[in-house]
Amino acid sequence: MENSGPLADLLKDSSLAENELNHVITAQTYFLALNLVALGGGISIVDEFTARSTSINPVKYKAFNPPSKFSIKAMHVEHEVLSNSCEKFLQYFKDEFLMKTIELKV
């Protein structure tokens, strides 16, 4: 996943950037990268949510040690009030994300 946004930026700043990664295939989405791996297309670096999702065939995944740190932002139109369903979704996402973070630290 080259030039894929925040994850690519995070990897460029990591020790992986010091190593020359030889890639033959470039995927446009994390889900496509996951399924290329599931079909035997090598390895890929994807976000945790993609890694844990269902792919064409089962894949093994491993987290970075130490884990990479990043932030998640929610955006909305500045002059619009968030709907009740948006507020509930954001609260649900925060709760779930915090639970996953706590589970991973244990």
What residues does each domain of the chain span?
1-70, 72-106
pLDDT of 103 > 60? The answer is no
Q: What is the pLDDT of residues 19-65, one digit of tens each?
A: 566 667 778 888 898 999 999 988 888 888 888 888 889 898 888 77
Q: Does position 16 have pLDDT exceeding 80, yes or no? A: no
Is the pLDDT score of 85 beyond 90? yes
Query: CB neighbours of 32 closer than 8 A, spacing ≥ 6?
Result: none
DSSP-based three-state secondary structure for 34: helix
How far does the chain reach from its first CA to its final CA, in angstroms?
A: 29
CA atoms within 13 A on the CB side of 11: 17
pTM: 0.59
The answer to whether residues 1 and 16 touch, using CB atoms and an 8 Å cutoff, is no
User: Rounded CA gap, 43 and 23, in Å?
Assistant: 10
